[in-house]
Amino acid sequence: MLKIIQIIALLQGIFLVFVLIKRRQAYKMNILIAFIACLISIMLFALGDDDYNLILSESNWFVFQEPLMITCFLLFVKQIEREQSEFVKTDFLILLPYLVYLSLGLTETFFPIGDAPIIDIVDDLIEFSLIGLLLKAAFDIIRSQKEKWLLTFIIPFVVIFAIDEMYKLTIDGDYSLMYLDSYGVILISTFLFYFVSFRLITTPKNILVTATNKYVTSNLSKSEINSTVQALHQLMIEKKIFKNQKLSVAEVAKELGITRQQLSEILNNHMKIRFQDLLNQYRVEEFIDCLDQEKYNHYTLLGIASEAGFSSKSSFNSTFKKLKGVTPSQYRDSQK
């Protein structure tokens, strides 16, 4: 019976990955890649289950066990929390626990050292830490209100993995309770594939965060984009228009001789920065320059921030801390 379910899960997964790849232009690339990684990790688990391996009986394909699935889910959740369409280097730190787990498995396989409790302890700690991170991911989804449908699968996975680990740890280290890690995971995976396939057919735009393209009518060439970016920086440095607390995208676009839509495209698609974030970067640097000028000695920090273009204390403090890693007063004291 389980083999039939495994085969169904594999066929569904292959079909689903094919459909997602075919529609790849509709989704943000980093989210699509992370989600496909989740699907593939589930298929590999279904294929290489220790007790019911479809290819080699009684083989230990530890590479494809729960830690790989959990790691892929964590990477996926991390992508949907952000608005960017690209991975960042820190995203891949989530791979570290799995790499440690993989190293332990390879050590046990190729360099058997007999009964080594420390390896089992580290292995259990890694799996429990990954379960905890998966549970945190569920709370992050609840908080962000994005892709809430994933909770239908993440929460059962957490429950199954947690029960399975606790049973192995406290009662029987060699077997799973009622084969939860086989039947339970593969059954949920099969339902997941059915669910996602159905949603892709009925409401394709709601299954993953879509890639927004607001600028399909833009006719900006690469050289025009580069020259506009250069002119924008020049405008900020020479005229210091960022000091205007009510500066708008439309005003800057007018100064540059382009439309508001074109400037928005350059900022969001090419410079990968929001208009307000760009202004705040220049404002923070202006604030730092003002600290060194004698004429501002009698100004308060908020007064200098206002001169630099900030309109509120909270915005100034949070932006400065985000960009410099310290508060404005801490920065000033460090320069004395």
Q: Does 37 share its domain with 126?
A: yes
Q: Does 63 share its domain with 143?
A: yes
**216 within domain boundaries:** no
| pLDDT at res. 241 | 94
Q: Does 159 share its domain with 87?
A: yes
**215 within domain boundaries:** no
| pLDDT at res. 31 | 82
Q: Does 201 share its domain with 98?
A: yes
Q: Does 61 share its domain with 177?
A: yes
**140 within domain boundaries:** yes
| pLDDT at res. 119 | 75
Q: Does 15 share its domain with 157?
A: yes
**213 within domain boundaries:** no
- Identify whether the C-beta of residue 145 lies closer than 8 Å to the C-beta of residue 85: no
Report how far Cα 63 is from the mean position of its chain's Cα atoms: 23
Q: Does 189 share its domain with 228?
A: no
**282 within domain boundaries:** yes
Report how far Cα 96 is from the mean position of its chain's Cα atoms: 15
Secondary structure class of 327 (helix, strand, coil): coil
- Distance between CA atoms of residues 290 and 335, nearest Å: 13
Q: Which residues contact 275 (CB under 8 A, 6 or more apart)?
A: 249, 252, 263, 264, 267
Q: Does 226 share its domain with 202?
A: no
Q: Does 151 share its domain with 291?
A: no
H helix runs in the chain, sequence order: 2-22, 29-47, 66-80, 96-110, 117-144, 151-170, 185-202, 222-234, 249-256, 260-265, 275-291, 301-308, 313-324, 328-334
Domain boundary among 156, 178, 206: 206
**212 within domain boundaries:** no
| pLDDT at res. 176 | 55
**290 within domain boundaries:** yes
Q: Does 87 share its domain with 113?
A: yes
Domain range for 63 is 2-206
For the chain, list residues with pLDDT below 70. 1-2, 48-54, 56-60, 82-85, 113-116, 144, 146, 168, 171-186, 189-190, 193-194, 197-219, 336
Q: Does 59 share its domain with 146?
A: yes
CATH number for the domain that contains residue 309: 1.10.10.60
The string of pLDDT tens digits covering residues 167-207 is 767 765 555 555 555 566 667 766 776 677 666 666 655 55
Which residues face 210 on adjacent strands?
27
Domain boundary among 142, 176, 206: 206
Q: Which of 109, 108, 162 is nearest to 133 (CA)?
A: 162
Domain boundary among 175, 206, 237: 206
Tally of domains in the chain = 2
Q: Does 200 share its domain with 234?
A: no
**137 within domain boundaries:** yes
pTM exceeds 0.95 for this model: no
CA dihedral 164, 169, 170, 172 (to 10 degrees): 80
